[in-house]
Amino acid sequence: MNETASNANVTNQLAPVMLVTGSAKRIGAAIIHAAHNQGYRVIIHCNYSEHEANALADMLNRSRNNSAAVIIANLAIVNNDMDLRRFATQIFATFGQLDVLVHNASRFYPTPFGHINHAQWDELFLSNAKAPLLLSQALMPHLKAQHGCIISLLDIHADNKPFSSYTVYNMAKAAHRMMVQSLALEMAPYVRVNGVAPGVNILPEADSDQAIDPVQQQNIIDSIPMQRVGTPDDIAHSVLYLAQADYVTGEIISVDGGRSLTLAGGNR
Ligand SMILES: NC(=O)c1ccc[n+]([C@@H]2O[C@H](COP(=O)([O-])OP(=O)(O)OC[C@H]3O[C@@H](n4cnc5c(N)ncnc54)[C@H](OP(=O)(O)O)[C@@H]3O)[C@@H](O)[C@H]2O)c1
């Protein structure tokens, strides 16, 4: 190895490590890009989007050798203690440390009252509340060792202003929001725990079960004081701020173009 490459490798080995759940695409991928640009080594976690995750890791590794890795798992593994322990071990073993854990993975779809079923409850609570809590617990020793931090992707609808027809999602994100505040107390002074609450920063994919109809989309845009949908980079910027804000814990930053100021609950 020549001297420059060897120096780069030493620098890389000292770089902090960030894991972002559900980060093959969209907001998660934007967080990965932003963290990698700032010198982090990154762990891209995915479930179905293996192809996108590998392409992202390859691209990042081409720009900095051994700086990005992919871990594939359905977060349902948190329902089994042994699987969860294995998952935590795999995460730690990837780079030998973990500094920042970002809970980004989520399911999002309507559950009109009168038609709510157990499967929806389990799925929406799994990704939006249960997995973040149990994964934080499983990774606590590693985060504590690094005086690291946890950052949760929440929602402006998780607090006081429910999104109409999304009761189960609203409830799960509200539980996740309370997790942020509870763990900020429990994990201080070793680990900081904060959240970012997006408004509308990227619309759900049009051909997915998460799609929002065009009328609802226009209502949403009309309600945003900044008069536009935000961007995944707006969220990534706040996540990176929280990762580096050594005296901030238990805080939730809304990144919503002012939408929570005009929001009355319901569709608008
Ligand atoms: N989009 C917005 O404007 C907006 C608004 C408010 C809040 N948020 C929050 O911001 C975060 C990112 O939003 P987004 O729209 O980019 O998210 P998204 O595309 O809806 O979901 C991110 C990823 O979560 C993963 N995921 C879901 N269930 C999983 C499971 N059981 N196991 C493993 N992975 C699972 C999926 O990974 P695979 O594709 O690999 O299966 C998916 O790609 C979410 O927490 C969301 O609730 C976003």
The pair of three-digit structure tokens given for residue 29, joined into one six-digit string = 């991928």
Instruction: Identify which of 19, 21, 27 to mutate to test ligand 1's pocket (most ligand atoms within 8 A of the CB).
Output: 27
- Beta-strand (E) ranges in the chain? 17-20, 41-46, 68-72, 100-103, 149-153, 192-198, 252-255
The residue written with tokens 């009761």 in the block is 167
pTM to 2 decimal places: 0.95
Distance CA 147, CA 25 (A): 28
Model confidence at 169: pLDDT above 80:
yes
Tell me how far the alpha carbon of residue 75 lies from the centroid of ligand 1, in angstroms: 12
pLDDT of residue 8: 53
Atom 19, ligand 1: residue with shortest CA distance: 26
Tell me if 127 CB under 6 Å of ligand 1.
yes
Question: What mean pLDDT is reported for the chain?
Answer: 93
Tokens 């109809």 found at: 213
C-alpha gyration radius of the chain: 18
In the reported structure, the alpha carbon of residue 27 is separated from the centroid of ligand 1 by a whole-number distance in angstroms of 8
Task: Give the whole-angstrom CA distance, residue 58 versus residue 55.
Answer: 5
Strand partners, 251: none
> What is the second-level CATH architecture of the domain 15-262?
3-Layer(aba) Sandwich (3.40)
Residues serving a catalytic function are 169
Beta bridge partners of 193: 150
Name the token pair of 254.
């809304």
Structure tokens at 49: 């989007």
Cα separation values, 211 from 42, 170, 206, Å: 29, 17, 5
Average pLDDT on 249-253 reads: 98
Rounded to whole angstroms, the Cα distance separating 132 from 138 reads: 10
**Ligand 1 pocket residue status of 107, Cβ below 6 Å:** yes
Whether ligand 1 lies within 6 angstroms of the CB of 108 is answered as yes
* Interval 92-141: pLDDT, tens: 999 999 999 999 999 999 999 999 999 999 999 999 999 999 999 999 99
198 lines ligand 1 (CB under 6 A): yes
Q: Which atom of ligand 1 is nearest to the CA of 229?
A: 3
